[in-house]
């Protein structure tokens, strides 16, 4: 995998192996440093059982003085009580120290097994080692992206470059996620960096809006994690003013595209997945209704296994929409899969089942379109199919 996405000005990253994972070659700790204080915003899991790093970061964002983010894989530091809270603060303090920052100018993220205490000696050694390797090359970006992976098969990296006020602005993000994916949010970690100048209020509003259309619109099996966190850091090192009017609109669109790309990559890398499924719901009273239907279809085990078997079983999709808790006229519903009409205005359509099956089997991407007649609102959701490999991965994950 060759990474050519630039790192925004004023940021450095590194990924190292500090023996948090049994694989001796895979990095498992990442460090992100801003050379100047950066504006930081965050969105987090809505699970009442949340990890110590989530609690710490919630207290520190939004902010205009964050210098470092340290991320470890292999251990979630979740359900670890007072010691877990102390360890999260210690991690932040260690990361801040190696970056020349005050101890409260760092944020922390963790992912991995729940209920295990962090091996803090290894963490400290890893942070020290990562500080030495900090850099701004694409290889440093990839190393950091790989360091936050758990059951992921591939690193998730996305970026956009745009011109604003005569300045070149870069937006670059990394994320992890493959299983325990179910908003809000998925079991995922993400960091999106930009060298644009933003205020804390702008950054927080931007991140919430983008997450709602991306990270909160993916599911693998509907299980909400304890550790979900996405951070936005903006350090203003590209120069220029805070984006406004048309410039702000273009920046917001580019930022949203980065988040969507990362979110789709997570769904596409779902544990054991052989298909990425995009679900488009249209014709609803409001977006919440459309999103609720799309999410319900996405999390149906019967729908997901049908796609895994290349079975154009439209009854599973339509019936899933029916128990989503949204009122609609069943006689006005239509359904397409990969462009083939399977169900039209409340009745079965004539189609070649073998042709539709072949279209699913021959392509990793499957497109499900559900149309209603209640309004004009729409929503898009991403999921993956459910295979035997998913069961094997999760049956063997801890034991």
Q: Can you give the CATH number for the domain in which 117 is found?
A: 3.60.70.12
Please report which confidence band the pLDDT of residue 392 belongs to, taking 50, 70 and 90 as the band edges: low
Q: Are residues 250 and 295 in the same domain?
A: no
pLDDT of residue 226: 61
CA 158 – CA 169 distance, rounded (Å): 14
User: Domain boundary residue among 268, 295, 324?
Assistant: 268
Q: How far apart are the first and last CA of the chain?
A: 31
| 4 occurs within a structural domain | no
| The pLDDT of residue 225 is above 60 | no
pLDDT mean over 108-130: 94
Question: Number of structural domains, the chain?
Answer: 2
Q: Which domain range does residue 124 map to?
A: 11-268
Q: Which backbone phi and psi does 226 adopt, to 5 degrees?
A: -90, -15
Q: pLDDT tens, 275-284?
A: 999 999 999 9
CA 95 – CA 12 distance, rounded (Å): 13
Question: What tokens does 314 get?
Answer: 């439209």
| 73 occurs within a structural domain | yes
For residue 334, give the nearest of 320, 347, 353 by alpha carbon.
347
Cβ of 246: how many Cβ atoms within 10 Å?
Answer: 9
For 62, 216, 328, 354, 394, the CA distances from 14, given in Å and listed in that order, are 24, 28, 51, 49, 29
| 216 occurs within a structural domain | yes
The total number of residues written for the chain in this structure: 399
User: Domain boundary residue among 249, 268, 287?
Assistant: 268
Q: What angle do CA 369, 374, 379 make, to 5 degrees?
A: 40
Q: Are residues 97 and 243 in the same domain?
A: yes
CATH number, domain of 329, equals 3.10.20.340
Q: What is the pTM of this model?
A: 0.90
| 375 occurs within a structural domain | yes
Q: Are residues 235 and 292 in the same domain?
A: no
pLDDT of residue 41: 98
CA 49 – CA 101 distance, rounded (Å): 30
Of 32-46, 143-157, 215-229, minimum mean pLDDT range: 215-229
| The pLDDT of residue 389 is above 50 | yes
Q: Are residues 86 and 213 in the same domain?
A: yes
| The pLDDT of residue 118 is above 60 | yes
CA 18 – CA 162 distance, rounded (Å): 37
Q: pLDDT tens, 55-70?
A: 999 999 999 999 999 9
pLDDT mean over 235-246: 96
- What DSSP string runs through 246-261? HHHHHHHHHHHHHHHH
Of 20-29, 152-161, 326-335, minimum mean pLDDT range: 20-29
User: Domain boundary residue among 210, 235, 268?
Assistant: 268
Q: Are residues 173 and 232 in the same domain?
A: yes
pLDDT mean over 356-364: 97
pLDDT mean over 357-385: 96
| 6 occurs within a structural domain | no
DSSP secondary structure letter of residue 215: G
| The pLDDT of residue 185 is above 60 | no
pLDDT of residue 26: 86
Q: pLDDT tens, 5-17?
A: 999 999 999 999 9
Helix (H) or strand (E) holding 388: helix 388-395
- Identify the residue with better confidence: 151 or 293: 293
Q: Are residues 293 and 222 in the same domain?
A: no
| 2 occurs within a structural domain | no
Query: Tokens 């630039």 sit at which residue?
Result: 6
| Cβ–Cβ under 8 Å, residues 321 and 327 | no
Q: Are residues 249 and 134 in the same domain?
A: yes
Q: pLDDT tens, 37-59?
A: 999 999 998 888 889 999 999 99
Q: Are residues 21 and 164 in the same domain?
A: yes
pLDDT of residue 1: 57
Q: Are residues 324 and 247 in the same domain?
A: no
| 150 occurs within a structural domain | yes
Q: Are residues 319 and 256 in the same domain?
A: no
187 is catalytic: yes
Q: Are residues 259 and 133 in the same domain?
A: yes
- What DSSP string runs through 221-232? S----S--EEEE
| 212 occurs within a structural domain | yes
CA 38 – CA 204 distance, rounded (Å): 13
Q: 61, 111, 172, 187: which is the annotated catalytic residue? A: 187
| The pLDDT of residue 246 is above 70 | yes
Secondary structure of residue 34 in the 3-state scheme? strand
Integer-rounded Cα radius of gyration of the chain: 22
pLDDT mean over 110-134: 95
Please report which confidence band the pLDDT of residue 25 belongs to, taking 50, 70 and 90 as the band edges: confident
Q: Are residues 256 and 299 in the same domain?
A: no
């Amino acid at each position: 995998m060759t990474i050519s996405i630039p790192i925004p000005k004023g940021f450095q990253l590194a990924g190292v192996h500090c023996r948090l994972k049994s694989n001796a070659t895979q990095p498992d700790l990442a460090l992100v440093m801003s050379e100047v204080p950066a504006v930081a915003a965050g969105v987090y899991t809505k699970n009442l059982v949340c990890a110590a790093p989530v609690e710490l970061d919630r207290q520190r964002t939004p902010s205009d003085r964050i210098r470092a983010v340290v991320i470890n894989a292999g251990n979630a530091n979740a359900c670890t009580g007072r010691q877990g809270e102390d360890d999260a603060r210690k991690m932040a303090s260690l990361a801040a120290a190696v970056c020349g920052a005050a101890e409260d100018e760092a944020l922390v993220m963790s992912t991995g097994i729940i209920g295990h205490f962090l091996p803090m000696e290894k963490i400290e050694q890893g942070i020290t080692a990562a500080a030495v390797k900090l850099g701004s090359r694409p290889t440093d970006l990839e190393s950091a992206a790989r360091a936050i992976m758990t059951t992921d098969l591939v690193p998730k990296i996305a970026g956009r470059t745009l011109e604003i006020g005569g300045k070149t602005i870069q937006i670059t993000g990394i994320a992890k996620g493959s299983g325990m994916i179910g908003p809000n949010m998925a079991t995922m970690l993400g960091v999106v960096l930009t060298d644009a100048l933003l205020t804390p209020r702008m950054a927080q509003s931007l991140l919430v809006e983008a997450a709602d259309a991306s990270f909160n619109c993916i599911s693998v099996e509907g299980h909400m994690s304890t550790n979900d966190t996405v951070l936005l850091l903006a350090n203003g090192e590209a120069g220029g003013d805070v984006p406004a009017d048309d410039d702000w609109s273009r920046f917001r669109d580019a930022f949203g595209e980065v988040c969507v790309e990362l979110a789709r990559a997570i769904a596409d890398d779902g544990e054991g997945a052989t298909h990425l499924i995009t679900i488009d719901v249209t014709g609803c009273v409001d977006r919440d209704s459309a999103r609720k239907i799309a999410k319900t279809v996405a999390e149906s085990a019967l729908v997901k296994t049908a796609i895994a078997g290349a079975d154009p079983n439209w009854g599973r999709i339509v019936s899933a929409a029916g128990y989503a808790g949204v009122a609609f006229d069943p006689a006005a519903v239509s359904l397409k899969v990969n462009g083939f009409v399977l169900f039209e205005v409340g009745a079965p359509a004539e189609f070649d089942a073998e042709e539709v099956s072949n279209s699913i089997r021959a392509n990793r991407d499957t497109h499900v379109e559900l149309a209603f007649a209640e309004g004009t609102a729409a929503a898009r959701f991403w999921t993956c199919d459910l295979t035997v490999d998913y069961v094997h991965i999760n049956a063997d994950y801890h034991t």
